[in-house]
Chain A
C-alpha cells in the first residue's frame, strides 16, 4: 500500500520534472517550472491597492480566494502594454503564497531535458539577471527559466538598494 503511494508520488514528480510552462513578454520567451503553476486564467477585474510598488497591480478574486497579481512586464522594467484577450494570469503557488503573474501570452508546456539547460552568462554590471535561474535551449529558441522564489522575495533587497 505504502509502496504504491510512493510510486504514484514518484511518478507525479517525474511527470513534472523538466517540464516548463512557457510564456512570452514581447519578444522573449520565458519558462516557469510546472510544479509551481496552479492554473492559468484570463485577465480579470483587478482591484488596486494603494502604496504598493507599480508592478503589483492589485488583487483579484479567484473563486473566493483573494490573490495579488504582479505584472511581470513591469517587474522586469519593460514598457507597460494594454491588456487584451490574449493577456493571461498565471497563478503560481510558492511556499504557500499564491500570486498571479500577468503575462502577454501563454505558449505551451515544454519538456526541456537537463542537458539542454545551462547557467545564465555571468555579467558584472548593467545586466540584471537575478530572476533568471537558467537558460533552456529548445531547438533554435532560447527560453529564460525564471527563479520564481526570487521573483517574490527579492522586494526588500531591491527596496534597500533603491533607498541607498
Chain B
C-alpha cells in the first residue's frame, strides 16, 4: 500500500498514465484477439495509445520505450491506412502483448527507482519484419491507395483555406511568435507540439512552421536553428498571449509580434499550401502522416472533459487522512463524554453535539469509500492469464466475470491479485481437461472459468469456479499419506476436510500435477496471502463437474468490528468475526489434565482454555473461572477458549499497527495491532490465529 514514488511529479505522472494506457491496451488487444479481427476502432485506439506512450516517454528521455512504441505505432499506422486483408491476427497479438510486457517491465523498473534500461531491439526488429511482410503482401493495393489518400488531402486542403477565409474575421488579433528552446534540452519537436497543444485552448487558428513536428525528426534541427514559428489568430490581448508563451518549458527566447493585419498570415498560409502541395506530389505517404497527426490532436482535444472529473491521489495521503478522521472521532467522544459535563443540563450543547456526531460519521464513511476500488481491473487482468495459458497448453477456456463492480479496500486489492492469478492458472492447468476429453465426457469443447465477486455482510466473497474434472479425493488422500500430513483417520474426514488438505504447505509436488488434478502448486501461498489480510479460503469440488474455490476477504483492513474485553487493567479487542460465543462457565465443566492444561467441555466437545492474564502476565484479581468470562474463538476450523475478566462491549475500531520500534524488536505472539478506545486509552487487538497456535 505504501508504494511511494519519491520521484519527480513528471515521472509519477508518466508511470501512472502509462500503466493505465497499457492496461487499456492489453484489454483491447485481448478483445480483438477473441473476435480474431482488429476492428477499425481497436486499431485507432491502439494507435492512439502507442502514440501517447511514445510522446510521453520520449519527453522523459526513455528512448527504449519510445522507440518500441514508435515501431508499434508505425505498424498500426499501416494497418489503419492500408487496411491489409492478410494480417495474421494471432502473430500480431503475440507481438503486441510482448511489447506490452516490455513496457510494463520498464515502467515497473521506473517505479522502483531503477533506470529503464531494457533493450527492445530484437522485438522492434520483429515488428518491423512483420510490417514489411505485410507491406509486400499488400503491394498491389498501395498504388491505388496513394491516389485516394491524395484526393482526400486536396479536398481537405481546400477546406482549410476556405475555413481560414471565412473564420479569420471572427478573431481580432493576429500574432506571430518565434520560440527558441534552450540549447540541449532535447526533443524540441515534442516541446513545440506541447506549445501548440496549450494554444489550442485559446484559438483554433494556429499555423506553425515546421508543420510536421510530431512525425518528422528532421524538424528538430530546423527548430534548433531557426526557432519554432507560430502564427495564430485569437481574441486574447498581447499580454495574455505573452504570458501563455512564457509558460513554455525550456524557453530560451521568445519573439512575439502582433500583426497589424492578417496579410502575413495569409501569405504564410499560401506558402504553406504551396509547400503542402509540393509535399503531396513528392511524398504522399509522409503527407498522410501529417494528416494523421492532425486528426489525432483533434481527437485528443475532445477527450479531456471526461478525464477532468478524476484526480489521482497518493495512497499515503489517504492513509493520513483516515488516521486524522479516526483521531477526530476519538477526540469527539472525548469532548462529548467529558466527565466535566456530567450531570449538567445542556440542551443546546447536546443538540450541537448530535450534529457534530452526524457529520463525523458521514466523514468517516466518505473517507472509507474513497479507498474503495472496484475489482474489475484485477479481474480483467485474468483475461491475459487465461489467454497465455490456453496458448501454451492448447486448451480452450472461456473466462466469465460477474460482479466486477464489487468494491474493496485498495490495500486488499493488492493482496488478492496474486492469489487470484494462481487459482486461475491452476484451474486451467489441472482443472480444465483437453478438448477430446471434454467432448468425450459430453461437455462443451471450451472450458468455462467463472470469476465472481459479491458482498456478504462485512466481507467480500470472491469465487473462482471451473467446470473441469474436479478434485480427486483418493489422489489427495494418497498424497497426504505419503507426505505424512494426515492428522485424522481417513474415514473420519469429511469431503471438505479432505479438499482443504491441498492448502497445506508442502503438499504440492511436481508429480502430483500429472497424477491427478491436485491443485497443489502454490496453494499454500494463496492461503497465506489471503490470511495476511484476514481472509479465508475454502474449496469444494464435485468429480467431473468442477471445482469451486471461495475466498472470503474483509472489506477493509483499517476498521474492524471488535469485542473489547478487560483483563486486570489492560484491555484487549477480539475481532468479532472470529468469536463464536461467550459464556460464564460452570465449575463442573472444567477439566484439568495431569500436565496442568485446562480444558472445558461445551456441548460434548472439549476445548483448551487460554488464560490471557497468564499469557500476557497481567495482574488481575479474577483467576477463578466462574468469576470471569470465557470467549470461544475460532479460526480456520480450530477453536479455543479465551479466559478474561469481563466483556466491555462491541464497537468498530480503527486498526493501528504497533510502533516500529516494538515491531523491530520482536513479533509478539497473538497481537495483531492496537487501537484507541473512545476514552483515549489503548486496547491491544488479539490475533486469534496466533493465539490458537501459542
Contact = CB atoms under 8 A, between A and B. Distances in A.
B690 to A, nearest CB: 12
Interface in A86-103: 96-99
Interface in B613-663: 615-618, 656, 658-662
A47 interface: yes
A53 B674 CA distance: 19
Interface residues of B, number: 31
A156 B330 CA distance: 36
Q: Is the interface of B mostly helix, strand, loop or mixed?
A: mixed
B682 interface: yes
B327 A59 contact: no
B680 A52 contact: no
Q: Max chain A CB contacts within 10 Å: which of B660, B661, B668, B674?
A: B661
B684 A47 contact: yes
Contact of A64 (B616, B676, B681): B676
A49 B658 contact: yes
A66 B659 CA distance: 6
Interface string A45-59: 101111111001001
A50 B658 CA distance: 12
B682 A59 contact: yes
Which bracket fits the contact residues of A?
Answer: 20 to 34
A60 B656 CA distance: 13
Contacts of B331: 64
Contact of A61 (B323, B616, B682): B682
A93 B326 CA distance: 23
A155 interface: yes
Interface in B100-155: none
Nearest to B330: A64
A67 interface: yes
Given A47-B570, A51-B669, A59-B674, A66 B658 contact: yes
Contact of B671 (A45, A49, A61): A49
Interface in B517-544: none
Contacts of B660: 96-97
Nearest to A70: B661
Contact of B659 (A45, A53, A63, A98): A98
Nearest to B616: A50
B271 to A, nearest CB: 45
A48 to B, nearest CB: 6
Contacts of B323: 64
Q: Max chain B CB contacts within 10 Å: which of A47, A50, A53, A152?
A: A50
B682 A60 contact: yes
The 9 residue pairs across chains A and B that have the minimum distance between CB atoms = A64-B327, A50-B616, A47-B682, A68-B659, A68-B661, A51-B668, A97-B660, A68-B662, A97-B661
Interface of B: 323-324, 326-327, 330-331, 570-571, 615-618, 656, 658-662, 664-666, 668-669, 671, 674, 676, 680-684
Given A56-B665, A59-B674, A68-B659, 17 more contacts: A47-B683, A47-B684, A48-B616, A49-B658, A50-B615, A50-B616, A50-B668, A51-B669, A59-B662, A60-B682, A61-B676, A61-B680, A61-B682, A96-B660, A98-B659, A98-B661, A99-B661
